Chain A
């Protein structure tokens, strides 16, 4: 039977020898009385190579535990060290000392690592079990209860429970999910009663990898299986060992159990059949045994320091199932389900898991369930109902552990929507952040049963001094603003984090307290007790006051001084609330959003934006999140955008909320994409949105929350998920859009609060135009004219349009330059008409009796249909071009335009003079110093001249419309016959045209083909206004 056992490898000196497989099954580690820990390759080929020797210990190594990447070993002195196992050069194992886990006073007898590799439990000869964090080696708990020394500890695979045996034979089970682990079961006189102080005559209990049983070697040399949940003996495996059983080990699928004893026997049991199927007798009393989790392989050690490895233990060919898991159909399905379960049932998981992208990028949870083999439904309620025999049948490919572990929960039966505070974290190592934003952070530090301490740390040290006080109320919620900090207690059910450390009961009234930072007013702190049964769900504070949303659906609004300003009833589904200055953003879970068993949760949200005084509701509506994602953060940008961040890593801002109808959530950043692009597994924990950057705490190494002390924050540039942002153009477009978004917001906010923003607006406009000009240049280079025109339409400043013309000319795109000029002209026309509207109205009376046609002008300004004046869209422009090129046009206009102009020349000359006199406020028509064609090549300027002469002529006709507001362009089109393009010319108001033409005059009048008005010989004809009047009179003719 022992045919495949490799010969004794004397790994250590004579004495108790410990052995353990790494969870990956790649290595075996042993520790012995020569105070060494050795790490062997597990595979048969490499097993005989030299082992890695770790010489940290200075006394007999008594206990070992290995997980995926860690080895923890304890010695007789009580020193417990951890080692990191990784892959070194050439694919070989490399082991580094990671640190000292514990310095106990007494020998460390047994060690168990939780499946998440976060905690380690250590049994020493002391009567306490030490639980230490493997992340920072901080002691987490001391489990007290055993009388006399503890000789074994074992975590359940989901880390929810810990089993331990004492030397007096008692077996205890601890619930590790609580913040203060409690003993949930004690069975006295079950295990061996053994003498403390000698590992060789002690035994160890072990938890099965499927989480159902604890195998306890018992005094009658049998192994009993303690069932989870009921904590009673469910089965007994006995009759083989003659002497004390020192150690047991479960195969990875929990089908087999191996036990070794002082009778030198190794016995392998089929658990389901409750029978021994194999046994092997060795030469020396045996110490420890372990299964390779990934292979049909068993390792055991004896008291002479020898290591034996038994390959192909289970005779699979004889119909026995393999002891390890074979090809798994869906390796990811299980943890996912487990995670869901834990989210529902485990208090600690709500926020913790809320933040993780469930799919895609592989950022899996590091919660208690993800790493283990167990199926992770911690309460195991459904497991209990199953009889033992239930799993016997399952031998197809070995693993009832992978039985679809979908928890049986019902959509309606889930707990009430959980509320959360933005910037709060769950407890970790006795600390948590209650609030974290750009002002600073509020940290809660667990002290003892009666109080915690609160630490408020600011970012700007010149603003306030850091605060530190002792909190006897046990606050659970905090909201930090630059004026003060609001605290509230709440019940365990409402708090989203695990363990309000024995927080107030549901019967006890909750407390809301405000701590003001203002130093000038003494005693401005206040405190309120809420009525019984009303507990805060979420709270918010800003410089304008404080808001408390309670479990009775009340929204209580207070001032910073503690005046109760407003109360209002809300649907009791608030998820979070956050305030900035005078704005309060409330997010609710939408009605009808269901949690389904299918695993996909569809929570929908609604938002309400109101003022902090409760008087005005600014916006309300649906608050979208990514499919099957949850909201994990809400806040305001520095500019005042309400913003949300969901668990799929999308940051959104509520844009244009000031006009409720146009309010829309705009996605501005996709952090998952970002971390994909950076090719790093990072989680960005949101802090704030400021200065067009998303401020985050970057969390690596599977951490989901910022550590203590406060880390340095990272800034992520906003990156609107437009298309093709991998190209330069796409990036520029995204930048441009982001700029527009935030500028609009800034100006709207300034306008709303009555701030002065003219300077800022001018600056922002310029910045935006710069981006647009860059885009125009790119478009010009790529010869994308339409694109350039579209971009030109988006330009704000006239100056920038001039620059755009320059660019076009520089690129020798005359047609484009022309089109942009037209945009500019139409723009300036509009501006002028708006600016002059007032002055024209004043002069209206005068003008009306002096010149009849002119009287129409102001009226037209007032009720000018926007489509007419500003409607020279790219479409119509294209049509123009298609119809006739600039060259063709330049020759045609003189016919109708000239005729009209000459016909009205005399009247025009007279009335023009009058009008000029009658309107003193009109600035003298002076050409702007800027000449857009300063850089143009000579040949290009020739063309421009010609086309401008066309402009000029066409404008004469176009501006005729200034006299008549009523005639539609179509009508005029018909009346003016063959000059198809002319009537469609941008209608101009006089003053605007004056200016535009004056600007052009520099080159217009050099040409012989100048407008016929010039040919009339009148002095004033050189002035553009004459042409305008001429056009007016022509318009009259049309009207008649």
Chain B
């Protein structure tokens, strides 16, 4: 795994927000500024009232300095969220499509740019609803976990993060048990066919298991 030991237990919310800082958001600058050369590339020029795309961290910074208005992304409108909630609530619905960092972005924008969001209270409430619905669904989905795969489309980063510790371990365990079951079955099968079974396969697995438990 690419993540460190600590992170296998999941990121914290601030960490996730940090990861979302490079997502682009649209702003309307309030001050005229020339193009900014950033490491990731240039942004701007800023010509009020024309919109421009900047990374989230810059938008937040400018907003704090009262240098811009943040244009709420389309999915962060109350109407859109309401529709999403409905969609999400529908029986047998899969996860609705949302940006991978939707929770983090919404959190950041609601924190600094509440005045730029139409009906921020409703947005907050709807986001909460949406999140809870999705959480329930995720839990439901986890029940379907088997040793081969678990498919939940459109899960956002924060949501993946939530199930990561549980999922990772259970998946490992399931896989191991499955392998055990398979070899056991195999051996039984072969035993009935050929007599004494070849133990090497089983031994490998057992080693593996020991190692895993030790860990």
Q: Which of A's residues lie within 8 Å of B, judged by CB?
A: 438, 459-463, 690-691, 693, 695, 712-713, 715
Contact = CB atoms under 8 A, between A and B. Distances in A.
Given A693-B50, A715-B51, A460 B31 contact: yes
Nearest to A440: B49
A712 B51 CA distance: 9
A460 B51 contact: no
Contacts of A690: 47, 50
B30 interface: yes
Contacts of B51: 712-713, 715
Nearest to A691: B50
Nearest to B45: A691
Given A460-B31, A460-B32, A461-B31, A712 B69 contact: yes
Contacts of A713: 28, 49-51
A460 B50 contact: no
Given A459-B49, A713-B51, 17 more contacts: A438-B49, A459-B48, A460-B30, A460-B31, A460-B48, A461-B30, A461-B48, A461-B67, A691-B47, A691-B50, A695-B49, A712-B28, A712-B49, A712-B51, A713-B49, A715-B50, A715-B51
B173 interface: no
B180 interface: no
Nearest to B32: A460
27 contacts: A438-B49, A459-B48, A459-B49, A460-B30, A460-B31, A460-B32, A461-B30, A461-B31, A461-B48, A461-B66, A461-B67, A462-B30, A462-B31, A463-B32, A690-B47, A690-B50, A691-B47, A691-B50, A693-B50, A695-B49, A712-B28, A712-B49, A712-B69, A712-B71, A713-B49, A713-B51, A715-B50
Interface string B11-38: 0000000000000000010111000000
Interface in B51-90: 51, 66-67, 69, 71
Q: Which 7 A-B pairs have the closest CB atoms?
A: A459-B48, A459-B49, A462-B31, A461-B30, A460-B48, A460-B32, A713-B49
Contacts of B32: 460, 462-463
A438 B71 CA distance: 18
A461 B62 CA distance: 13
A964 B50 CA distance: 59
Nearest to B50: A715
Contacts of A695: 49-50
A438 B49 CA distance: 7
The A contact surface, by secondary structure, is: loop
Nearest to A461: B30
Contacts of A460: 30-32, 48
Nearest to B72: A712
A713 B28 CA distance: 9
Nearest to A710: B49
Nearest to B86: A89
Interface of B: 28, 30-32, 47-51, 66-67, 69, 71
Contacts of A462: 30-32
Nearest to B31: A462
A462 B34 CA distance: 13
Nearest to A437: B49
Contacts of A438: 49
B110 to A, nearest CB: 18
A715 B67 CA distance: 20
A614 to B, nearest CB: 32
A332 B67 CA distance: 49
A686 to B, nearest CB: 14
Contacts of A461: 30-31, 48, 66-67
A757 B174 CA distance: 71
A306 B135 CA distance: 47
A647 B16 CA distance: 49
A1024 B28 CA distance: 60
Interface centre among B47, B50, B51, B66 (most CB of A within 10 A): B50
A693 B49 CA distance: 12
Contacts of B66: 461
Contacts of A715: 50-51
A712 to B, nearest CB: 6
A693 B71 CA distance: 18
Contacts of A693: 50
Contacts of B48: 459-461
Contacts of B71: 712
A693 B51 CA distance: 11
A695 B50 CA distance: 8
A616 B181 CA distance: 95
Nearest to A713: B49
A713 B47 CA distance: 13
A533 to B, nearest CB: 40
A461 B28 CA distance: 12
A883 B48 CA distance: 60
Nearest to A693: B50
B160 to A, nearest CB: 31
A218 B67 CA distance: 65
A459 B49 CA distance: 6
A482 to B, nearest CB: 11
A681 to B, nearest CB: 15
A691 B47 CA distance: 10
Contacts of B69: 712
A405 to B, nearest CB: 37
Contacts of B49: 438, 459, 695, 712-713
A459 B29 CA distance: 8
A317 to B, nearest CB: 46
A462 B31 CA distance: 5
B109 to A, nearest CB: 14
B74 to A, nearest CB: 12
Contacts of A712: 28, 49, 51, 69, 71
A698 to B, nearest CB: 12
Interface centre among A462, A690, A691, A712 (most CB of B within 10 A): A712
A715 B69 CA distance: 16
A526 B168 CA distance: 76
Nearest to B67: A461
A370 to B, nearest CB: 24
Contacts of B47: 690-691
A400 to B, nearest CB: 42
Nearest to B90: A89
A690 B69 CA distance: 20
B138 to A, nearest CB: 25
Nearest to B27: A712
A194 B28 CA distance: 59
A439 B50 CA distance: 11
A691 B49 CA distance: 12
Nearest to A460: B48
A695 B28 CA distance: 13
A764 to B, nearest CB: 17
Contacts of B67: 461
Nearest to A687: B49
A462 B29 CA distance: 10
A848 B32 CA distance: 61
A459 B32 CA distance: 9
B101 to A, nearest CB: 22
A463 B46 CA distance: 13
Nearest to A458: B48
A695 B71 CA distance: 16
A146 to B, nearest CB: 38
